[in-house]
Structure 1
Amino acid sequence: MGIQHEKKRYVAILSPYTTSILHYRKPFVVAWWGAVFPGFGHFMLSKYLTAFILITWEVVINSLAHLNEAIYLSMTGRFEEGIAVLDQHWIILYVCMYVFSIWDSYRLTIEMNKHYTLAYHEGFPLLIKNTSSIEINVLDKKNPLLAIIWSLLTPGLGNLYVTRVLSVIFVLTWWLIITYQANVFPAIHMTLVGNFQGATDILVPQWFLFVPSIYCFAGYDSYVSAVELNKFIDKYISRELKEKYQDIQFKMPI
């Protein structure tokens, strides 16, 4: 009896609630997102639990240290006030986790790229269990432009479009918390009615400086997810057609 070798390196897992795809990433890009907002690099790698820990740490410790407030004051030329507002009890602790987020996301990207290469040499096995009593996830192509548009309208909707429900929970939850604390939507309302000074006064800098990072990341992540999903579907269909319909004697033209 021959020994059957189990394929352990899955390149894609399709469940009723999410689509996780292992694909090649540039380590510096992932590390850069980890620097923009600790946890985002791990989030891109679908390491949701680690990302949740790092993102929570970033928001909590940054707020306790008043780091964003100090950055805002420095950007407006009030350097002495920026230094004074920093809480020394928390800022050094913040730096340690910040550096770890960058380093670990870079390291993990390199290791996952190795697994990606090995998995495709093994025929890129995938695990599909895409139906349940409450949800169905169909493997179909997505329009990357639509993913960005929905993300720009409301961060999280682009991930919902590409069926990454866990991503939606993370992004949309933090978006609601941060925009609420920053008074973003009351400021938008005041701007629309022409009360520009009131909109400026009502914004909370400590929370508002989180907004650009999460807003841009939501669009980028949904776009990349849609592009890589489409690439994977092409490779998957090509493999299925070759294995099930192509004559074994067929020789590919040079």
Structure 2
Amino acid sequence: MGYQHDKKRYVGIFSPYTTSLIHYRKPLVVAWWGAAFPGFGHFMLSKYLTAFILITWEVVINTLSHLNEAIFFSMTGRFEEAIAVLDLHWIILYICMYVFSIWDSYRLTIELNKHYTLAYHEDFPLMINNTSYIEINVLDKKNPLLAIIWSLLTPGLGNLYVTRILSVIFFLTWWVIITYEANVFPAIHMTLVGNFQGATDILVPQWLLFVPSIYCFAVYDSYVSAVELNKFIDKYLSRELKDKYQDIQFKMPI
């Protein structure tokens, strides 16, 4: 396996540190993740730098505007407190970024689907440079169920299983920051020892509302990555067997 310089549209890039695949996606699904947490849609498309900018912006501006705190108050029926806690200096900036994240992830998905369709007629070219002196990325099939289980235990471990190191760095970093600021694990400890009121009191709503989004997305992303990697390997092996081992006189069954 090696580089294929004669191809123009790569659908798979395998490096020692990550596996990036372009495959058909539903634009509305990607846009939905962009709405759930700005940057997640771009993250699914392996637009890591753009995703990092949007996710960082989301956390910073959301925190400065106290948006999650206002959402928490609204969910508990305390509407006057929700209005009072919002910082109007930052909320308009948040709205602009939020809308852009949804629109741009939807647009990019459509464009990448076109790219994938064209690459389909070029037999799914890929670029492989999967070894270095500190890491090796072996092209092998993954069990999607294991990806889910590891992500449920700790967000990021499922992505480590499917060799997406950039995703691992993102998930583990933000998971540690968010759960620490929200006091998630002290609250879990208090719950286990029966101190339910204490667990409720120490939770920080502004940071707590980030937890469901990142937790669910880590599970979803690792599962989809495992499934699509398996599909790609099947297509790749089929192409290699056809090109290198199938007799040119072979007649396809009718």
TM class by shorter-chain length? over 0.9
Q: How far, CA to CA, are the matches of 1:8 and 1:176 in structure 2? A: 40
Match of 1:239 in 2: 239
Match of 2:144 in 1: 144
What are the equivalent positions in structure 2 for 1:224-235 lying under 5 Å apart? 224-235=224-235
Q: How far, CA to CA, are the matches of 1:235 and 1:124 in structure 2? A: 8
Match of 1:191 in 2: 191
Which runs of no fewer than 5 residues in structure 1 stay unpaired? none
Q: How far, CA to CA, are the matches of 1:123 and 1:251 in structure 2? A: 20
What are the equivalent positions in structure 2 for 1:17-28 lying under 5 Å apart? 17-28=17-28
Tell me the amino acid that sits aligned with residue 123 of structure 1.
D
Q: How far, CA to CA, are the matches of 1:133 and 1:93 in structure 2? A: 44
Shift of 1:175: 0.6
Match of 2:111 in 1: 111
What are the equivalent positions in structure 2 for 1:103-252 lying under 5 Å apart? 103-252=103-252
Q: How far does the alpha carbon of each residue in 1:117-144 deviate from its partner, in whole angstroms, 9 at most, with x for none?
A: 1111111111100011111110000000
Shift of 1:250: 1.2
Q: Aligned residue pairs: how many?
A: 250
Please report the TM-score for the alignment, with normalisation by the length of structure 1: 0.97
Q: How far, CA to CA, are the matches of 1:15 and 1:54 in structure 2? A: 25
Q: How far, CA to CA, are the matches of 1:250 and 1:6 in structure 2? A: 27
Shift of 1:245: 0.4
Shift of 1:6: 3.3
What are the equivalent positions in structure 2 for 1:77-88 lying under 5 Å apart? 77-88=77-88
Tell me the amino acid that sits aligned with residue 73 of structure 1.
F
Match of 2:10 in 1: 10
SS in 1 for 2:23: coil
Please report the TM-score for the alignment, with normalisation by the length of structure 2: 0.97
Shift of 1:13: 0.5
Q: How far, CA to CA, are the matches of 2:236 and 2:116 in structure 1? A: 15
Q: How far does the alpha carbon of each residue in 1:194-223 deviate from its partner, in whole angstroms, 9 at most, with x for none?
A: 101000000000000000000000000000
SS in 1 for 2:141: coil
The RMSD of aligned alpha carbons is: 0.8
Shift of 1:163: 0.3
Shift of 1:7: 1.6
Q: How far, CA to CA, are the matches of 1:41 and 1:212 in structure 2? A: 16
Which runs of no fewer than 5 residues in structure 2 stay unpaired? none
Tell me the amino acid that sits aligned with residue 63 of structure 2.
S
SS in 2 for 1:124: coil
Q: Structure 1 runs of 4+ off > 4 angstroms?
A: none
Q: How far does the alpha carbon of each residue in 1:97-153 deviate from its partner, in whole angstroms, 9 at most, with x for none?
A: 000000000000000000001111111111100011111110000000000000000
Q: How far, CA to CA, are the matches of 2:61 and 2:34 in structure 1? A: 16
